[in-house]
Amino acid sequence: MQFVGLLLIVNSLAGGAWWVATGRPQMYVTPICVAALAAGVFLIVHDRATSPRQTPGPTPAQAGGSDELARQIAEAKTLLQHLEDQTASADWHLKQLDEHVKSMEVLPDGRTRIGNTVIGQPVVLIPKLEALKQVPADRPAETLALAKECIGLYESTRDHMGGVVLASGDIGPDMIGGLYVTAATTAQRMDDHDHALEWARAAVAVRSTPERQFLLVTTLINKNLGGEATALIQQQLKAGGADAAKFRQLLDQYKIPYKKGD
């Protein structure tokens, strides 16, 4: 019976841990686990207490039997205390596991956030970025829809990253900058000038290049923001260097007017 009692105790602890780890409600499993633990302890104590003893009588054997019974009772008390300690420890670990499960969040891009740590790879976003590269240039509507979806996944994930101190699987700035350029350019072709301007600004914010600055100028002009476009042109030309020369070349190529003295 002692073996059966031990099985009850071990199985109740293991079963309770599995139940909580799989996200099931604790209100159902807790009473069952407690009852199983109590039954196991009872079987162990009862079996020890009812073990065969010497026939009562005023003999030395009676004294020896009493000592044995006292020893078994003491062992049972020690075992019970040990089980109580193990139960308390198991309960603490179950609560910790429950807190970790509750703090787990699957991010829009497919990674997982646990507390202030993000793990995994963006398994939702990456396939869509790859698919975006495969869309033919003569299907701008499809490109725009897919680019908008990718940006939504990226930006909504970014909004969930507050307080993160360690993250894996980040999408690099070159890929994100290219995404914004593709989206802004396609939006211009589809006369969606609001999104074109928003995404051109985002592309420049990721990394400024002459091409992205020129794209921003064209989106500002399409939104009738000529003053801001002119100020941006002057700023880029006055910066000098190779980037300014490339920027001037783009202005001349697409016949964007500017002051030649700039």
pLDDT confidence band for 37 (50 / 70 / 90) = low
Tell whether 70 and 173 lie within a shared domain: no
What are the φ and ψ backbone dihedral angles of 105, each rounded to 5 degrees? -140, 130
Tell whether 180 and 85 lie within a shared domain: no
Q: Give residue 21's pLDDT.
A: 58
Mean pLDDT, rounded, of the chain = 84
CB 129 within 8 A of CB 182: no
Tell whether 135 and 231 lie within a shared domain: yes
Tell whether 44 and 96 lie within a shared domain: yes
Q: Where a domain ends, among 62, 77, 104?
A: 104
Tell whether 131 and 231 lie within a shared domain: yes
- Is a pLDDT exceeding 70 seen at residue 65? no
Q: What is the dihedral of CA 216, 219, 221, 224, to 10 degrees?
A: -130
- Is a pLDDT exceeding 70 seen at residue 36? no
pLDDT tens profile 124-178: 999 999 999 999 999 999 999 999 999 999 999 999 999 999 999 999 999 999 9
Q: Give residue 66's pLDDT.
A: 75
Tell whether 135 and 234 lie within a shared domain: yes
Is residue 262, in this structure, part of any structural domain at all?
no
Is residue 244, in this structure, part of any structural domain at all?
yes
Is residue 259, in this structure, part of any structural domain at all?
no
Q: How far is CA 221 from CA 80, 206, 227, in A?
A: 81, 21, 9
Tell whether 63 and 132 lie within a shared domain: no
Domain range for 43 is: 2-104
Q: Give residue 72's pLDDT.
A: 79
pLDDT: which is higher, 32 or 123:
123
Q: How far is CA 51 from CA 2, 46, 66, in A?
A: 11, 9, 12
pLDDT confidence band for 18 (50 / 70 / 90) = low
Is residue 258, in this structure, part of any structural domain at all?
no
Is residue 72, in this structure, part of any structural domain at all?
yes
Q: Where a domain ends, among 58, 88, 104?
A: 104
Domain count, the chain: 2
Tell whether 122 and 75 lie within a shared domain: no
Q: How far apart are CA 191 and CA 216, in angstroms?
A: 15
**H helix intervals, the chain:** 2-21, 26-49, 60-103, 125-134, 140-159, 173-189, 193-206, 210-222, 226-238, 241-253
Q: How far apart are CA 208 and CA 177, in angstroms?
A: 9
Tell whether 161 and 46 lie within a shared domain: no
| Burial track 62-89 (b if 16+ CB lie within 10 A, e otherwise) | eeebeeeeeebeeebeebeeebeeebee
CB 147 within 8 A of CB 183: yes
Give percent above pLDDT 90 in the chain: 58
For residue 233, which amino acid is it?
I
Tell whether 117 and 49 lie within a shared domain: no
Give percent above pLDDT 70 in the chain: 70
Q: What is the CATH number of the domain that holds 123?
A: 1.25.40.10
Q: How far apart are CA 9 and CA 36, in angstroms?
A: 6
Is residue 238, in this structure, part of any structural domain at all?
yes
pLDDT: which is higher, 95 or 257:
257
pLDDT tens profile 69-99: 788 788 878 888 887 887 777 777 666 555 5
Q: Give residue 206's pLDDT.
A: 97
Tell whether 132 and 218 lie within a shared domain: yes
Q: Where a domain ends, among 104, 131, 157?
A: 104
Tell whether 137 and 211 lie within a shared domain: yes
pLDDT tens profile 200-235: 999 999 999 999 999 999 999 999 999 999 999 999
Is residue 260, in this structure, part of any structural domain at all?
no
Is residue 10, in this structure, part of any structural domain at all?
yes
